[in-house]
A and B are shown apart, each in its own frame.
Chain A
Amino acid sequence: MTIALETRNLRKQFGALTVADGIDFRLERGARHALIGPNGAGKTTFINLLTGGLRSNSGGIFLNGEEVTRLSQRARIRRGLGRTFQINTLFRSLTALDNVALAVAERRGVAWNLIGRANRHADVVSESRDLLTSLGLAQDADTRVSDLAYGKQRLVEIAIALGMKPSVLLLDEPAAGVPTMESRRILEVLDSLPQDLAILIIEHDMDLVFRFARQITVLSRGALLAEGTPDEISADHRVREVYLGERDV
């Protein structure tokens, strides 16, 4: 198995608070890997460090074998790193189609076209529509995302990231705040993603985690606490103590 994403001894401090305490982590190609841990454990921060939205204090980050620690967020994205946000980060007054098309256009390198008509970029438009269709949002393509139901907005959140055609996808609580019925829909979508895409998912919904993930890493106070298959993790007494115990799994 090749490694899609790796961190070595990654550290980050906010003042006196250590949020990444020497994290050594590996995400394999085609992984279905979950990152769990209590509130404030540093999960979102870890994603921000990976994407370059935040700078680490020390340690290394490797994407598909190449060191990207000092590269900008944009350079990492161009090398195949995509993410979604825990709190919806959408272009709210634009249509679902435009939300996805913006990402597709950046990837295809057409967004510097100053004179051509956006709607005539058939490649961008049809790819974006197909993507929305594959997520069951065909009917909603021309609706403003702020007018969509919350569950559908969460899907658009994922659709934008998919528009970037990443090789590594970091999902920050994709089902956060979504009612159980609709979170099933999100799980279906995740299950339908390309097999060779490496996925790291942060999720508090243990049902979803245990159905989706083949590998689980537990983070607590910025440090890796345990790593293993779902069975190993649910049997681990340390994990039960800091995390699962609280949630009656």
Chain B
Amino acid sequence: MGNLHAGGYSANAALRWQESLPWLVAIAAFFLLPEFLNLGARILIFILFALSLDLIVGYAGIVTLGHAAFFGLGAYTAGILSARAGINDPLIQLVASGVTAGLLGVVTGAIILRTRGLALMMLTLAIGSICLEVANKASSLTGGADGLAGITIAPVLGQFRFDLYGKTSYLYCLAILFVCWWFVRRLVYSPFGASLAGIRENNLRMHAIGAPVYLRMLAVYAISAALAGFAGALLTQTSQFVGLNVVSFELSGEMLVMLILGGVGRIYGAFAGPAVYMIAQDQLAKQFPEYWYLGIGSLLVIVVLFAKGGVLGLVDRMVSRIGKGRRS
């Protein structure tokens, strides 16, 4: 179990060359695959969402089935600001979405983080369904089941217009993802990140060394919620529409599937999972719609049973095997 990005006081936090790969791939895709930039932007958005999920599932050990609540609130915040208040600046919307989602994280976290394990998971599910119901009922604000249309997004920094081909969307999402990734990586390798590992490993002992366990959990939960809120805002801004699906249980579940596929608790699993899942979906779901869920389901079973650590875990093992082969 060689988890590269476990953090801690013994960990070397220096960047490794492999960590530049996702960014190189993303930049290469921009130049080489101009017709896929809209899909590319969506992938980047879901990577950010998965990254926020990894922070609490992988690093804090909180299994949630309701993370779409924060993504959805972020998406609606951006959409409502534009459609109902005429605030169209993307960065203002982004900040607002992060703040509202973060606040929802504080409020709901304050309740659910008093429990653990299965009870906690059920509470995340319950809060997710409440949020879905609120979004559905508050149709004067959210458009309800019809969705929220009439969203216009001003150029980024007053300069870069959102174009049909998704160039601006793609680069904008890439830039936001980069900043959030930087923050998450710092956090994982920080003393705070180390204390999260402590809580995950042995909650009882963390209490016994005087750590404010509940506050730490609340902090990371709120941070994760804010990051999910950013991702939601990006989806609204790049698609200029918000539907109820952004708060759905299916989305929470699908994100968890993507993260598990990519590998939990290793930062880059959140990159690999959505990329593999969404490209496969794009290629296969259209051709074999009836087999898509069957395929994803089987893949998930295989990963959970045989490839702990997901796609990235497999890569790790292959690399270390090749390394051993060379040395001997």
Task: Contacts A51-B208, A74-B212 given; indicate if A117 touches B190 (C-beta within 8 A).
Answer: yes
Stretch at the interface among A13-21, A31-39, A88-96, A241-249: A88-96
| Per-residue A-contact encoding for B180-203, CB less than 8 Å = 1, 0 else | 000100110111111101100110
Task: Contacts A115-B187, A118-B13 given; indicate if A163 touches B194 (C-beta within 8 A).
Answer: no
A101 to B10, CA, bound (A): 9
A115 to B13, CA, bound (A): 12
A98 to B13, CA, bound (A): 14
Residue of B9, B183, B189, B207 with most chain A CB atoms under a 10 A cut-off: B9
A89 B191 Cβ-Cβ under 8 A:
no
Interface size class of B (residues with CB under 8 A): 20 to 34
A118 B208 Cβ-Cβ under 8 A:
no
Query: What is the CB-to-nearest-CB distance from A111 to chain B, in angstroms, rounded to a whole number?
Result: 5
| Per-residue B-contact encoding for A86-109, CB less than 8 Å = 1, 0 else | 000111111101100111011100
A98 B8 Cβ-Cβ under 8 A:
yes
Minimal Cβ-Cβ distance residue in B for A96: B10
| Per-residue A-contact encoding for B138-161, CB less than 8 Å = 1, 0 else | 000000000000000000000000
A118 B191 Cβ-Cβ under 8 A:
yes
A95 B10 Cβ-Cβ under 8 A:
yes
Query: What is the CB-to-nearest-CB distance from B185 to chain A, in angstroms, rounded to a whole number?
Result: 10
Query: What is the CB-to-nearest-CB distance from A122 to chain B, in angstroms, rounded to a whole number?
Result: 10
Q: Does B320 contact A (CB under 8 A)?
A: no
A89 B204 Cβ-Cβ under 8 A:
yes
Residues on B with C-beta less than 8 A from A49 are none
Q: Does A78 contact B (CB under 8 A)?
A: yes
A95 to B209, CA, bound (A): 17
A160 B205 Cβ-Cβ under 8 A:
yes
| Per-residue A-contact encoding for B265-286, CB less than 8 Å = 1, 0 else | 0000000000000000000000
Q: Does A77 contact B (CB under 8 A)?
A: yes
Query: What is the CB-to-nearest-CB distance from A121 to chain B, in angstroms, rounded to a whole number?
Result: 6
A118 B9 Cβ-Cβ under 8 A:
yes
Return the contact of B191 from the options A74, A90, A111 (Cβ within 8 A): A111
B198 A91 Cβ-Cβ under 8 A:
yes
| Per-residue B-contact encoding for A54-83, CB less than 8 Å = 1, 0 else | 000000000000000000011001100001
B191 A91 Cβ-Cβ under 8 A:
no
A51 to B208, CA, bound (A): 8
Task: Contacts A89-B202, A94-B198, A164-B210 given; indicate if A119 touches B13 (C-beta within 8 A).
Answer: yes
Q: Does B211 contact A (CB under 8 A)?
A: yes
Q: Does B229 contact A (CB under 8 A)?
A: no
Q: Does B7 contact A (CB under 8 A)?
A: yes
Residue of B13, B187, B189, B210 with most chain A CB atoms under a 10 A cut-off: B210
Task: Contacts A93-B201, A94-B197, A116-B191 given; indicate if A102 touches B12 (C-beta within 8 A).
Answer: no
Query: What is the CB-to-nearest-CB distance from B208 to chain A, in angstroms, rounded to a whole number?
Result: 6
Query: What is the CB-to-nearest-CB distance from B216 to chain A, in angstroms, rounded to a whole number?
Result: 8
A94 to B206, CA, bound (A): 13
Instruction: List residues of chain A with CB under 8 Å of any chain B CB.
Output: 51, 53, 73-74, 77-78, 83, 85, 89-95, 97-98, 101-103, 105-107, 110-121, 124-125, 128, 141-142, 160, 163-164
Can you identify 7 A-B contacts, CB atoms within 8 angstroms? A74-B210, A74-B211, A93-B1, A98-B197, A102-B206, A128-B9, A160-B205
Instruction: List residues of chain B with CB under 8 Å of any chain A CB.
Output: 1, 7-13, 183, 186-187, 189-195, 197-198, 201-202, 204-212, 216
